Amino acid sequence: MGLFNDITNQAILTTLALSRQQETMIANNLANYDTPGFKASALSFQSQLAAALQQGPGAVAQVTGTVATDTGAMRSDGNSVDLTAQEAALAQAQLTYQTAVQAFNAKVTDIKIVTEGKPQ
């Protein structure tokens, strides 16, 4: 296994990509808050990622998450976007993304220390 191809790096990359997809989906939901009949969608991937971590980097790379569409109507116009829930989901997705960025930066720092022989 190469220096950058371990399961931790793959988990970080997968988390970054899927967190970004979550944020994009939430942004779409928020943009359609006033669209009659619009149904909010959500992407979940954490449980799939946790299961894939037990199988190795190849399985982690294959995690795509699950998209669920809210088929219920919250308002009389048929729109299912719950503004409070979307804001909470966005905050969670942003925290997940930021955590993955910090983990990636820590790995890069560790590599620099090993290759350069000194801490930053």
Of residues 114 and 23, more confidence is placed in 23
Structural element, H or E, at residue 44: strand 41-44
Give the per-residue pLDDT at 118.
65
pLDDT confidence band for 2 (50 / 70 / 90): low
Residue 67 burial (CB count, 10 A): 12
Q: Comparing 116 with 16, which gets the higher pLDDT?
A: 16
pLDDT at 5 over 80: no
Instruction: With CA atoms as reference, report the closest residue to 76 among 37, 30, 33.
Output: 37
pLDDT of residue 1: 45
Query: From CA 39, how far away is CA 42, in angstroms rounded?
Result: 10
Give CA separation, 11 vs 14, 23, 67, 90, 116, in Å: 5, 18, 19, 20, 25
Q: Which residues pair with 119 in a beta bridge?
A: none
Q: Higher confidence at residue 118 or residue 73?
A: 73
Across all residues in the chain, what is the average pLDDT?
Answer: 91
Q: Between the ranges 1-15, 26-40, 64-78, where is the mean pLDDT highest? A: 26-40
pLDDT (tens digit per residue) in 64-113: 999 999 887 778 999 999 999 999 999 999 999 999 999 999 988 888 88
